[in-house]
Structure 1
């Protein structure tokens, strides 16, 4: 694993999850896409060699259930239980939702992550792996004026112009800064558990991401994420429980 995906004291959790997701995909040739993923982050991962131990538990017709561990130095860093399928075989026109697409200003009116200070880029180099254009009304936390609403929204795409796919969505749901930044609580917020649902293959183009939180208790907070593609399709949802920044 590359140090270029580091944030604070460890490697980004979404990056780890997408790598392990790729290993699970390799073990399930008839079920290539993550559908439901529950990930437990056991210890911080570092740059260097890792091993993916994958155990298919049941392979059915439409879905397969699989367990996997990401191991480093004989320790488990990440443990996952997941359901995989073939999103191309799911009924594409069966969509009934009350969810409303994320409304964003034009990209030229948003605030790019490239404006981050050099010390932030050095502390969290993973932020340079993609382009983020933040909603101008939700970027006050970057200049010491958080809104207190607990919401961060942004346009998003990978920096190498790779189009989004189901595996990259596992990374995207953990890509934005911790939503606690908008509450004035800055710093690395380690994930305890993350559950992600991939609802459809994303269309080419920019994604729109929104992180929200409503409850802080016991030194932890929940972070809900929605990912919308360029066709206004809700393609991924997640909730994670994370530790408050120290």
Structure 2
């Protein structure tokens, strides 16, 4: 169904590009890779995974349960500093905050993203599930087009797509041919191009990695995230993920995006909502 496994968790391009180095208590150095950009700006899901890795090294609990991020300015490839702080520690959950900053040429510090997150241990969750949610109806992987099948490149450039194995549901890919459905939907298969299986940090990337729903509304251009909240529900099974994103309300120049991530075992592994600026 998907590409052959070549990389493993902990030894992939995603892991290398989200690596952080602890320089002092609560101070981590990182380098934002140009490989995760779209329209010249660093992808918001990649930034969330990067700050999530720093918080996982700070808090006593390893896995993100809920993460809320405010994007304060557009990040650019290059060096960055992530400052983390423990807010509260309990027996099963711990909460921390992180701030990612970069520096202008004159040395001025600019905050890019601020995150508040609660972590726990996904392996310790109760097994019972009661849900009315159902996996999205997406055609088989082989019947969904990928970037190489598009007649034109994504406007503005999208280096991130070279690092992903994304295939879109044809019902939500009409915008590629100039025929958006107008429903504000985006569905597809998601994986990493080097075959690395998903983990909780990859889920933070996946919620913001498909083309924006604004494309299906007939709008073109960068759709910058203002705020993004992600809930990680369980550790994903190996294999490709299915992603379903929708928006119901574009007003005042802003739109919301609600996302669901399903794993190969038909489990709802992550949910998110974000507020984004609509393209001009």
Q: TM-score, normalised by structure 1?
A: 0.96
Tell me which residue corresponds to 2:87: 57
How far apart are the structure 1 equivalents of 2:155 and 2:197? 24
Displaced runs of 4 or more, over 4 A:
none
Secondary structure in 2 aligned to 1:111? coil
Query: SS of 1:131's equivalent?
Result: coil
Count of residue pairs the alignment pairs up: 244
Deviations 1:84-116 (A, max 9, x none): 00100111x221111111121111111112234
Q: Is the 8 Å Cα contact of residues 156 and 221 (structure 2) preserved in structure 1?
A: no
Answer whether contact 1:112 1:134 (CA < 8 A) is retained: yes
Q: Which moved more, 1:115-124 or 1:197-206?
A: 115-124
TM-score after normalising by structure 2: 0.85
Match of 2:37 in 1: 6
The alpha-carbon deviation at position 128 of structure 1 amounts to 1.3
The aligned counterpart of 1:45 is 75
Structure 2 distance, partners of 1:96, 1:199, is 13
Instruction: Please show how residues 86-105 of structure 1 align to structure 2 within 5 Å.
Output: 86-91=121-126, 93-105=127-139
3-state SS of paired residue (1:21)? helix
Retained in 2: the 8 A contact 1:56–1:65?
yes
**Aligned counterparts of 2:195 and 2:135: Cα–Cα separation in 1:** 23
Equivalent position of 2:268 in the other structure: 234
**Contact 1:9-1:44 within 8 A present in 2 as well:** no
Alignment partner of 2:186 out of 126, 130, 152: 152
Match of 1:80 in 2: 115
In the alignment, does 2:206 pair up with 1:176?
A: no
Residue of structure 2 equivalent to 1:20: 51
Question: What CA RMSD, in Å, does the superposition of the two structures yield over aligned residues?
Answer: 1.2
**Maintained 8 Å contact 1:52/1:70:** yes
Task: After superposing the two structures, state which structure 1 stretch, 114-123 or 99-108, moved more.
Answer: 114-123
* TM superposition shift of 1:194: 0.3
Alpha carbons 2:155, 2:221 under 8 Å: kept:
no
What per-residue deviation string (whole Å, max 9, x for no partner) do you get for residues 217-245 of structure 1? Answer: 11000001000000000000000000001
Q: In 1, Cα distance between the equivalents of 2:78 and 2:149?
A: 29
